[in-house]
A and B are shown apart, each in its own frame.
Chain A
Amino acid sequence: MNDSFPKPVLGSLYDVPETFTVTKTRQENYRIKTVFFDKALPCSPGQFVMLWIPGVNERPLSAYRSDPLAITIANVGKFSGRVYVLNPGDRVGIRGPYGNRFELHGKNVLLVGGGYGLVPLSFLAEEAKKRGVKATVVIGARNGKDVILEKDFEIAGCRTFICTEDGSRGLRARSPDVAAALLAKEKFSAIYGCGPEKMEEALVQTARKHRTPCFVSVERHMKCAFGICGACACGDRLACAHGPVFSAEELEGNPDFGKTFLDWGGKRQSYE
């Protein structure tokens, strides 16, 4: 297991929320919105911020864009429900960025995402375009209504495959299976995955089989986000400070990846 020194634990020297104001919002589907803020926050694809709504909660959210800062929220619970209804002029607290980033390797990459996992991948696709890296994306969703950010990948010049669980749009398949089919025919310099952990686990296995470098973003409950509290433990790694992006090699033998996580109180729970 890689035992490298954590990347920037010191994302900034002032890890208290700074005030950001919403400038606009954009509907992505029936329950996902992108929220744009008034300021830039230097950050990279894969990194996340801690967004705080006083009296509600503070949660990790992937950076969607850096300048100005934007995030994309899926309305699934109390906190995300409140982020979802933010309006221009509303103010929130933001600290970060935290964690490491997706690093582009080679000139022909494969992006595989499900749900809001497509958020950092959209940011990565934009960077790939700027750097002249060819990108193929597999957008996974439960059904056609759930597909998001298709337009972003088009603007970034990606070759796009859409797949849904019920076949209501694109292929009727799970995203790791689409990735496996592509890998059987073509070579990619690297694979980047973000989505439900079971999907990431399947993707990592496929990538290993095809001996292609693979990086996935690991999601855990987070409290400090800077490597102190241990809430986001995944094996002997912390999702916030060693990750959230891990290579397939780093995850090899990790007993928690795809299997278990700590709930808010620190009880071990299973992904089954």
Chain B
Amino acid sequence: MLVTSLLNRKLANPAVLASGILGTAALLLKYVEECGAGALTTKSCNLRGREGFQNPTVVSTEHFMLNAVGLSNPGVEEEQETVRALKKKTKAPIIGSVFESAPETFAEVTSKLAEAKPDFIELDLSCPHLSKEKGFAGYGDFSSNPKAAAEVVEKVKEACKLPVFAKLSPNCASIAEVAQACEGAGADGITAINTAKGMAINAELKSPVLSNKSGGMSGPALKPIAVKCVYDVYGAVEIPIIGTGGVLNGKDAIEMMMAGASAVGIGSAVYWRGFRVFSLISEEMRAWMKENGYTSTKQLVGAAHE
């Protein structure tokens, strides 16, 4: 009932581990599969690796999580090893996530990671923390601009045969236009959304809490923003969507699919419901579908558009 097709691959269920959550090591990703994830996205990597920001990097409240980890990663070569080790251990499809500072380097890091043969590539076009850093200036967040996003997708598709998902940001004028531009440039799918920009301040200490001052907001408060983005993207493109943002339970996942998602990204929910959140979401989806007369996840995709 929950088996889901994503392009040329089958997922045991539509719950996909989102990038940057628990993705630092192959054994940990394998553990997430044991906890019920239908597909696994690796932590975004770039060519040379990054230290990331100093702490505080992640904080959370009842309603939202705020992070500015700063894309710390060991670099694509070590990430290749992670993907290779993971491939030996898991059945779940692997989505290799990459980022870089220019279309050419995006293409380079993608073809490097592709050597390790993940099932899909995801382009993190949308990390909100980097726009003011040197080398990232001028582009900022690629996915806030349809032309910049398309340029990256085009270069990557020239360099790599694997199916490519473009991961988009809600921090833009029209996510539908960005998605359309990516589709036009050859993207095979869209992941929507990354975090929304946010900040928290400690009043007594008169200081933003994150060392980077601002960060990306995820968790329950992001859900309505994500549902709206996925709804808009579904209306604008034909390619499949991984709907991500604030999904905590089975009903949230169904909402996301009815907005147009073929599979559902799960990240911060691990904080609210523990590592087994993936199995829990599957069980809850199955129960709801049974009760409401659905026999396949396919029937859910885009149902709210009819």
Residues of chain A having any CB pair with chain B under 8 Å: 3, 5-6, 9-10, 13-17, 19, 50, 52, 54-55, 57-59, 91-93, 95, 223-224, 226-231, 233, 235-236, 238, 255, 262, 264-268
Contact = CB atoms under 8 A, between A and B. Distances in A.
A268 B27 CA distance: 13
A228 B73 contact: no
B204 interface: yes
A229 B73 contact: no
B275 A16 contact: no
B78 interface: yes
A177 B77 CA distance: 40
B271 A17 contact: no
B268 interface: yes
Top 3 A-B pairs ranked by shortest CB distance? A230-B24, A58-B55, A224-B58
Contacts of B67: 224, 229
B73 A265 contact: yes
B60 A226 contact: yes
Which of B55, B65, B211 counts the most chain A CB atoms within 10 A? B55
B207 A55 contact: yes
B245 interface: no
Contacts of A226: 58, 60, 271
Contacts of A19: 202, 204-205
Contact of A57 (B21, B211, B272): B211
B292 interface: no
B200 interface: yes
A230 B207 CA distance: 26
**Size band of the B side of the interface?**
35 or more
B291 interface: no
B62 interface: yes
Given A9-B271, A230-B23, A264-B72, A3 B34 contact: yes
B129 interface: no
B31 A236 contact: yes
A74 to B, nearest CB: 18
A97 B27 CA distance: 26
Contact of A50 (B28, B43, B55, B65): B55
Given A224-B58, A230-B23, A230-B43, A267 B202 contact: no
B235 interface: no
A229 B43 CA distance: 9
Contacts of B209: 16-17, 52, 93
Interface string B43-69: 100000111101111111110010101
A230 B200 contact: no
A262 B24 contact: yes
Which of A3, A95, A233 counts the most chain B CB atoms within 10 A? A233
Which of A57, A58, A268 counts the most chain B CB atoms within 10 A? A58
Nearest to A254: B27
A91 B57 contact: no
Nearest to A8: B274
